[in-house]
Amino acid sequence: MRVTARLPRVLSHGDLHRNNVLIDTQRRQVALVDWDRWAYLPLGFDAALLLRGLPWGEVEPLAVKRVDQQLGTLVFTYLFQCLDVAHFMRSEEAALLRARIYTLYQQVKLRSDTSQ
**What are the residue ranges spanned by the domains of the chain?**
2-114
**Euclidean distance between CA atoms 75 and 49, whole angstroms:** 11
The pLDDT tens digits of the residues spanning 15-70 come to 999 999 999 999 999 999 999 999 999 999 999 999 999 988 899 888 888 899 99
Confidence band for 112, pLDDT divided at 50, 70 and 90: confident
Average pLDDT over residues 72-86: 96
Kindly report the number of other CB atoms within 10 A of residue 13's CB atom.
21
The pair phi, psi for residue 23, each rounded to 5°, is -120, 125
Q: What is the pLDDT of residue 116?
A: 62
Average pLDDT over residues 85-110: 94
Name the nearest CA neighbour of 101 among 3, 2, 1: 3
The pair phi, psi for residue 32, each rounded to 5°, is -105, 135
CA 110 to chain centre: 20
Q: What is the pLDDT of residue 1?
A: 62
Mean pLDDT of the chain: 92
**Euclidean distance between CA atoms 38 and 17, whole angstroms:** 13
pTM to 2 decimal places: 0.86
Using DSSP's 3-state secondary structure scheme, residue 67 falls into helix
The pLDDT tens digits of the residues spanning 27-38 come to 999 999 999 999
